[in-house]
Structure 1
Amino acid sequence: MDFMRLLKSVEELLYELVTWILFYPLTLWRCVRRPVAMMKYAERELGDEGEEQYDDALSPPIFLLITLFLAHLLELGLAVPAQASLPAFLQDDKNLLLYRAVAYSLFPLLLALLDVRHRGVKLTRQLLRPSFYSQSYVAAPFVLSFDIAVLVGRQGFGAAVSLGIAIFALGLAWYCGAQIAWFTTIRGVNAGRAVAMVLGTVLLGFAAVLAVLLATALSAGPIS
Structure 2
Amino acid sequence: MDFMNLLRSAELLLYEVVSWLVFFPLTLWRCLRHPMAMIAYAEQELTRPPEEQFSEALSPPIFLFLTLMIAHMVQRGVLHNDAAFEGVLSDQRNLLILRAVAFSLFPLLLGIQHVRLSGQVLSRKTLRPMFYAQCYVTVPFVLMLDLAMMLGTLEPVWTGPTALAIFLLGLGWYAVALTRGFMIHRNTRLRQAMGQTALALVIGALCFFGVFALSLLSGPVTIGS
TM-score (norm 1): 0.93
| Kept in 2: contact 1:60–1:136 (CA 8 A) | yes
Deviations along 1:112-168, one digit per CA (max 9) or x if unpaired, are 111111112111101100000000111111111100000011113331000000000
Q: Which position in structure 1 is the counterpart of 2:211?
A: 212
Q: Which position in structure 2 is the counterpart of 1:170?
A: 169
Q: Which position in structure 2 is the counterpart of 1:65?
A: 65
Q: Which position in structure 1 is the counterpart of 2:92?
A: 93
| Kept in 2: contact 1:80–1:151 (CA 8 A) | no
The share of aligned pairs that are identical, in percent, is 45
Aligned residues: 220
Q: Write the distance in 1 (CA, Å) between the matches of 2:70 and 2:123.
A: 31
Residue type at the aligned position of 2:148: A
Any stretches of 5+ residues in structure 1 without a counterpart? Answer: none
* 1:218 shift after superposition: 1.9
Q: Which position in structure 1 is the counterpart of 2:50?
A: 50
What RMSD in Å do the two structures reach over aligned CA positions?
1.7
Residue type at the aligned position of 2:150: L
1:191 aligns with 2:190: yes
* 1:8 shift after superposition: 0.7
SS in 1 for 2:158: helix
Deviations along 1:32-84, one digit per CA (max 9) or x if unpaired, are 10001001000001111122101011011111110010110110123344x34
SS in 2 for 1:123: coil
Higher relative contact order (CA 8 A, sep 6+): 2
Counterpart mapping for 1:1-224 below 5 A:
1-81=1-81, 83-84=82-83, 87-89=85-87, 90=89, 92-219=91-218
Q: Which moved further from structure 2: 48-57 or 21-30?
A: 48-57
Deviations along 1:159-182, one digit per CA (max 9) or x if unpaired, are 100000000001111111111011
